[in-house]
Amino acid sequence: MPVIIRKGAGQTQHIRAEFACAAAICAAFLALATPGAARADDLDLGKQLYHQLDYESARVALLRGASSPDPHRRAEAYLYLGLIDTVEGDDKSARESFRSGLVLDPQLELPLGTSPKVAKIFNRVKSELAKASAQQHVEPASPAPVSPAQPPEAAPQPVPDRVLQANGNSEAGGDIGKPATPQETSHGGRWAAGTLFVLGLAAVGTAVYFATQEQAAERSFHNATYQTDAVTYQSNANQAAVIADILYASGAVVGFTGVGLWFAF
């Protein structure tokens, strides 16, 4: 019996388009699962927005960056908050921000290109802190006796009164004057973890779809009348199986990463 050859060009193009779509989804999942790719650092983002003259958005990012556990990065965040205050004409707030940054890092320096007016405010605050530090190291000639019942109180550390809690406290309606601590829950981290978990579920759901496509192609392969159709159905089934396996693996990685981040934050 002669074999009639008939090309399934439309079906082949369709499965190639599905394969390209699945590859793009996998690349997005892997990019999200990579540590540090979920969102940019608050301090670096704030500095970038400051240089782009978007001072309102820069302030929000820098206030979140001021809750960093690294004192040097907190100091740099206060420095740029002070620069924004000078742009807005609030020299008093600028001095408070510069003082908070210099207390954390006395070696803090202004970025290149800062105007002489801003440098004058910054250098005055730096000089005042240097003098206060020098006076604290001078021992008094006749120290007054300290009563055992009333021990000397420790000097209060300057606490900035405009630091938001980490990851957008103003959006959650919290107290705008409450400084965030490293032990507090990061709502931004929880949000990223939840997003990864949802994406993982979406990948698994897409994998189920391609697994169904594979089964349909297998049935068509067994019921094919012509040899060419049988080859096409078998190729489609193999490609759908590969896509389903990739999506299953990607969904598992992204989903478990999201769960791990959720409990980490």
Distance CA 42, CA 55 (A): 14
Residues 85-112 have pLDDT tens digits of 999 999 999 999 999 999 999 999 999 8
Tokens representing 36? Answer: 């540090």
Q: State the DSSP code for 39.
A: S
When pLDDT is cut at 50, 70 and 90, the band that residue 4 belongs to is very low
Q: Report the pLDDT value the prediction gives residue 191, as an integer from 0 to 100.
A: 75
Query: Nearest Cα to 239, choosing from 258, 262, 211, 264?
Result: 211
Lowest mean pLDDT among 5-19, 37-51, 70-84, 149-163: 5-19
The residue behind tokens 């960093």 is: 68
pTM for the full model? 0.41
CATH number corresponding to 42-134+161-184: 1.25.40.10
Q: Are 30 and 250 contacting, i.e. CB atoms less than 8 angstroms apart?
A: yes
53: left (phi over 0), alpha (psi -120 to 50) or beta: left
Count of CB atoms situated within 10 Å of the CB of 152: 7
Distance CA 74, CA 218 (A): 60
Residue ranges per domain, the chain?
Answer: 9-36+189-264, 42-134+161-184
How far are the Cα atoms of 17, 18, 223 from residue 247, in angstroms, in the given order? 16, 12, 28
